[in-house]
């Protein structure tokens, strides 16, 4: 069997593996199939929820893959088996849902179980989920619950709209939670020690290799730990500028709109 430089291909989705239309391009689909046929483990590590990601993966011709979802709050295999989880405690999740924010510029969301909840109807968000069909339910969070909460997240019109809320959340819950941005407009709150890196490490522990045998790709602040802990981390050309400043030593590749991850993976693994 041919020896490859890495055992595992790990990729973020939005802004990384997905193209500018927020879907998996044909060139990327073909690349993932070729990696799978050569025995390379495929792991998608994303802020998206499991139901969303599994729908996308199951539409591909891939036999084996794993999903690190909700920024590392859950890990599933391709068959849907839950391998790892780290949820917000129910009372803590509910308390975070009650935090004050400017409703004109920020909306409140949560991923709980296999469901997505939101405080207002915002159809514009569905362009990110047209491939999977994953959709939200509008709820009154004051009368909601905190069960099986992978993350509570706030989407703002801009980063500036979220900065006061970030300060507020860190002061009240920083000791008990992991708080990070998945994009400059999305501030996310998970349980303590939740990250893509932690979840990936837990997954790899069950296999016959370790993190140094992984190559990973990302574009956001929530990818930093993962990219710095694997054997090789690659930063997208369209990455969050704050992320680029924190990891100047990591290689920058092309843009997600050009399916640069697929092109880079073909070169690294020698598949054309």
Per-residue pLDDT of 139-176, as tens digits, reads 999 999 999 999 999 999 999 999 999 999 999 999 99
- CATH number of the structural domain 8-85+195-269: 3.40.50.1000
Query: Taking residues 94-114, what's their average pLDDT?
Result: 97
- CATH number of the structural domain 90-191: 3.30.1240.10
Query: Taking residues 221-248, what's their average pLDDT?
Result: 97
Query: Taking residues 220-237, what's their average pLDDT?
Result: 98
Q: Can you give the pTM of this predicted structure?
A: 0.95
pLDDT at 258 over 90: yes
**Predicted confidence band of residue 2 (pLDDT cuts 50, 70, 90):** low
Where in the chain do CATH 3.30.1240.10 domains reside?
Answer: 90-191
191-203 tens-digit pLDDT: 999 999 999 999 9
The CA-atom distances, in angstroms, between 152 and each of 12, 31, 73, 91, 100 are 19, 33, 11, 13, 13
Q: How many CB atoms lie within 10 A of CB 267?
A: 11
Q: How many CB atoms lie within 10 A of CB 110?
A: 28
Taking the C-alpha atoms of 156, 57, 136 and 25 in order, what is their torsion angle to the nearest 10 degrees? 50
CA–CA gap between residue 85 and residue 67 (Å, rounded): 12
Handedness of CA 57, 225, 48, 145 (dihedral sign): positive
7-63 tens-digit pLDDT: 999 999 999 999 999 999 999 999 999 999 999 999 999 999 999 999 999 999 899
pLDDT value of residue 3: 83
- Provide the mean pLDDT of the chain: 96
Q: Indicate which residue of 12, 36, 161, 223 is catalytic.
A: 12
The residues, any chain, with a CB within 8 Å of residue 227's CB and separated by 6 or more, are: 216, 217, 218, 233, 234, 235, 247, 250
The residues, any chain, with a CB within 8 Å of residue 94's CB and separated by 6 or more, are: 144, 145, 146
Where in the chain do CATH 3.40.50.1000 domains reside?
Answer: 8-85+195-269
CA 216 to chain centre: 12
Q: Is 95 a catalytic residue?
A: no
């Amino acid at each position: 069997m041919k020896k490859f430089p890495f055992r595992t291909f790990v990729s973020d989705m939005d802004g990384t593996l997905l193209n500018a239309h927020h879907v998996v391009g044909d060139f990327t689909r073909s690349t993932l199939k070729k990696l799978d046929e050569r025995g390379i483990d495929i792991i998608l590590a994303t802020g998206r929820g499991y139901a969303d990601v599994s729908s996308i993966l199951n539409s591909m011709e891939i036999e084996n893959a794993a999903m690190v979802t909700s920024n590392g709050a859950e890990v599933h295999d391709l068959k849907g088996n839950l391998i790892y989880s780290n949820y917000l405690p129910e009372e803590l999740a509910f308390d975070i849902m009650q935090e004050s924010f400017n409703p004109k510029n920020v909306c409140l969301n949560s991923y709980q179980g296999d469901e997505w909840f939101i405080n207002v109807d915002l159809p514009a968000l569905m362009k990110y989920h047209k491939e999977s069909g994953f959709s939200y339910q509008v709820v009154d969070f004051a009368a909601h619950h905190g069960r099986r909460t992978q993350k509570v997240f706030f989407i703002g019109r801009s980063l500036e709209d979220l900065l006061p809320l970030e300060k507020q959340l860190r002061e009240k819950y920083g000791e008990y939670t992991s708080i990070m941005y998945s994009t400059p407009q999305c501030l996310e709150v998970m349980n303590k020690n939740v990250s893509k890196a932690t979840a990936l490490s837990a997954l790899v522990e069950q296999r016959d290799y370790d993190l140094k045998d992984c190559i990973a790709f990302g574009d956001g602040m929530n990818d930093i730990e993962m990219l710095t802990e694997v054997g090789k981390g690659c930063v997208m050309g369209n990455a969050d500028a704050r992320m680029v400043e924190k990891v100047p030593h990591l290689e920058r590749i092309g843009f997600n709109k050009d399916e640069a991850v697929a092109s880079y993976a073909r070169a690294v693994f020698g598949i054309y």
